[in-house]
Copies of this chain bind each other. A is one copy, B any other.
C-alpha cells in the first residue's frame, strides 16, 4: 500500500496549504465578513491546523493583505489592458465612453461571476470591505486603485472635455457605487426585489451597468 496516498487521503499537495487557506478564507470572508470569521473556522474549512495561518502569514491581517493582492492586482491589470486596447483602437481620437466604462466594469463583473475556484465571491468581499473600518484594508485598496483611477479619469476627461474635474470625480464615485452594489446584490439575491435575479448573467449585467453609467456621466451639468 502507498502510505502517502491511502493511509492519509487528505492533504493531496502538502505544499498547497497556503493556497487552501487563502481559498477558504476568501469564501468565508465573503459570506460572513472579515471580522466575522475566526482563524479556527478558516483552518477547519481548509483542513489545516489552527497554527497554520500564523505560521504561513504571521497574522490574520497579513492573510487579508495577501488575499486582496492576489485578486485585485489581476483585475486592475486587466482594466488597464482593456483601456489601452480601447484607446489604441481609437487611433489618436478619444476612446468611446462606453468602451472606457466597459474596461472598468467588465473585469470586476467577470471575476465576480467566475465559478471556478473561490474567486467567485471575492468581489462581494471587496464591496463589503469598501465600507469596512479597517485602516490597513483601506490603505491597501487605495494603493491598488490609485493608478487605475488616474488613467480612467484622464481617458474620460478626453472624451468628455466639457465635464469639470469635480463633477467627473463625483460621477465616477457614483459609477463605482453602482458597480459594487450590483456585485453585492449578485452575492445576496435575498436583497433583490422579487423576480429580479431571473436570468442573471454577466454580459447582461455589464451591458446594463455600462449604459446606466454612460448616461449618468453624459448628463448635462
List residues of A whose CB falls within 8 A of some B CB: 31-33, 35-36, 127-128, 130-133, 138, 142, 149, 153, 165-167, 169-171, 173-182, 184-185, 188, 190-193, 195-196, 198, 205, 208-209, 211-221
Q: A132-B33, A216-B215 are in contact. Are A182 and B178 (CB under 8 A)?
A: no
B190 touches A181 (CB 8 A): no
- Additional A-B contacts beyond A128-B132, A173-B185, A176-B181 (19; CB < 8 A): A31-B133, A130-B131, A130-B184, A138-B191, A142-B191, A167-B208, A170-B196, A170-B208, A173-B196, A174-B208, A174-B213, A177-B177, A177-B179, A177-B182, A180-B181, A211-B221, A213-B216, A215-B216, A216-B216
12 of the cross-chain contacts (CB-CB < 8 Å) are: A31-B133, A36-B133, A130-B184, A138-B188, A138-B190, A166-B196, A173-B185, A177-B177, A177-B184, A212-B217, A214-B219, A216-B216
- Among B182, B205, B215, contact of A215 (Cβ-Cβ < 8 Å): B215
CB contacts (< 8 Å) of A175 on chain B: these are 178
**CB nearest neighbor in B for A219:** B215
Complexed CA–CA distance, A171 and B171 (Å)? 15
- Among B131, B138, B166, B217, contact of A128 (Cβ-Cβ < 8 Å): B131
**CB nearest neighbor in B for A175:** B178
CB distance from A38 to the nearest CB of B (A): 12
Q: Considering the complex of A and B, which 5 residue pairs feature the smallest CB-CB distances, nearest first?
A: A177-B181, A215-B219, A174-B178, A212-B216, A128-B131
